[in-house]
Amino acid sequence: MMLIVESGATKTDWCAVAPGVEPVNVRTPGMNLATMPQESIEEIVREAVSAFRKEGVVDDVAEVHFYAAGLIVADGEKLPRQARGLDTVLRSLFPGAEMEYASDLLDAARAVCGHKPGIAAIMGTGSNSCLYDGEKVVKNVRSAGFILGDEGGGARLGRMFMSDFLKGLVPEPVSSDFAKDFEVDYMTVVQNVYRGDAPSKYLGSFAPWILERYETCEYVRDLVEQNFKDFIERALKQYDISRYPVGVIGGFGYANRAILEKVAEPYGIRFSTMAATPIEGLVEYHLGRK
- Listed in sequence order, the DSSP H helices in the chain are 38-54, 84-93, 104-113, 145-148, 154-166, 174-181, 186-190, 199-204, 207-211, 218-234, 251-255, 257-264, 279-286
pLDDT given for residue 236 in this prediction: 96
Nearest to 11 by CA among 46, 42, 48, 37: 48
Taking residue 290's Cβ as centre, other Cβ atoms within 10 Å add up to 17
- pLDDT by position in tens, the chain (length 290): 899 999 876 788 999 988 888 889 999 988 777 667 788 888 998 999 899 888 877 678 899 999 987 777 666 667 777 778 888 888 888 888 899 988 889 999 999 999 999 999 999 888 999 999 999 999 999 888 778 888 999 999 999 999 999 999 999 999 999 999 999 999 999 999 998 878 888 999 999 999 999 999 999 999 999 999 999 999 999 999 999 999 999 999 999 999 999 999 999 999 999 999 898 899 989 888 54
pLDDT at 87: 86
Asked if CATH classification 3.40.50.920 holds for the domain at 2-110+279-286, the reply, yes or no, is: no
Q: For residue 77, what pLDDT is reported?
A: 64
Q: Answer whether 2-110+279-286 and 147-226 agree in fold.
A: no
pLDDT of residue 289: 59
- Write down the domain spans for the chain: 2-110+279-286, 147-226
SS3 137: strand
Mapping DSSP to helix (H, G, I), strand (E, B) and coil, where does residue 177 land? Answer: helix
Which class does domain 147-226 fall in? mainly alpha
Helix (H, G, I), strand (E, B) or coil at 94: coil
Q: Give residue 18's pLDDT.
A: 85
Looking at residue 79, its pLDDT comes to 73
DSSP run (H or E) holding 74: none
Q: Is 151 exposed, middle or buried (0-12, 13-18, 19+ CB in 10 A)?
A: buried
